[in-house]
Amino acid sequence: MQWGFRSRPRLRSEELEQVADWNLPQHLGIIMDGNGRWAKRRGLPRMAGHHAGMNAMKEAIRACDDCGISCVTLYAFSTENWKRPENEVEYLMKLPDQFFRSEMDELVQRGVRLKFIGETHRLPTYTQETVRLSLERTAHNTGMIVTFALNYGGRRDIVEATKRLLQDVEQGLLSVDDIDESAIAARLSTRELVDPDLIIRTSGELRLSNFLVWQSAYSELWFTDTLWPDFTKSDLLAALHAFHHRKRRFGDVK
Ligand code: FPP
């Protein structure tokens, strides 16, 4: 079953009423970048930037739900982020617990269903436990799907899908001639999600950094110089407004 369809926005304020007539992305991906620079500019440790980033993420999730977006995927920790100093990695691994402790009740109340993509089985045991509990707590919710990309790498995702494909061929479940794009997509970690329609990246960097590399083939991209901890509902609305005006042709001429 593929998730990611939802009817109309739940409007909570006048500011959001304008969104009602916009063509919204069903699936929004966000590369939350700039936490370190945000902290540095304030003479604070990088961890303070991640803490502020977590708060910006809470607001972004609320705003996405209020706008009526069906599905949001947040790039929280990449397969490359292990290269960071040990204390920073340790701090990032503890953030999910902090986040869910403060947000779980509201997420449940909103009907949010949580998902994780990435090699979560390689995370510290305490982070895995948080992942398990949050999946369990929201499993039956039917509202917005919030996916955390945690120890995620787009190329790793494709490698794992390729292994599954070869296993299926070996076991006679699939023939080589049956391998097509949908056979690969069906073995990616995002198999239950529609492809992202829009990807936002903050902090002025203009790249995808191994985020949803297969799935973003036809995604619209929106970049802002705003550092992630400063990202607000207004920035989200600016991105959604830009998306509303994009002409998506998917290779066609119309
Ligand atoms: C990139 O900024 C940000 C990250 C690697 C971490 C993002 C994580 C969060 C915002 C919170 C995650 C919380 C949960 C609950 C999963 P950077 O550190 O690379 O910034 P810089 O480029 O300015 O150094």
Mean pLDDT of 113-121: 98
Digit-coded pLDDT (tens) for 50-107: 999 999 999 999 999 999 999 999 999 999 999 999 999 999 999 999 999 999 999 9
Which residue(s) pair with 3 in the sheet? 193
**Is 118 a residue whose pLDDT tops 70?**
yes
Residues with CB under 6 A from ligand 1: 32-37, 50, 53-54, 57, 76, 81, 92, 95-96, 99, 148, 203, 228
Digit-coded pLDDT (tens) for 137-173: 999 999 999 999 999 999 999 999 999 999 999 999 9
Query: Ligand 1: which of 35, 74, 126, 206 to mutate, most ligand atoms within 8 Å of CB?
Result: 35
Cα 72 to averaged position of ligand 1 atoms, centre (Å)? 16
Please give the distance of CA 2 from its chain centroid, rounded to a whole number.
16
181-189, long-range: CB within 8 Å, 24+ apart, which pairs? 184/158, 184/214, 185/214, 185/215, 187/160, 187/161, 187/162, 188/157, 188/158, 188/161, 188/214, 188/215, 189/117, 189/118, 189/152, 189/157, 189/160
**Is 248 a residue whose pLDDT tops 50?**
yes
Residue spans of the domains in the chain: they are: 23-153+196-243
Average pLDDT, the chain: 94
23-153+196-243: which CATH number, 3.40.1180.10, 3.80.10.10, 3.30.1490.110, 3.30.70.270?
A: 3.40.1180.10
**Is 124 a residue whose pLDDT tops 90?**
yes
Closest residue to atom 5 of ligand 1, CA basis? 77
Mean pLDDT of 220-242: 97
Closest residue to atom 3 of ligand 1, CA basis? 33
**Is 13 a residue whose pLDDT tops 60?**
yes
pLDDT at 216: 98
The Cα 224–Cα 204 span in angstroms is 6
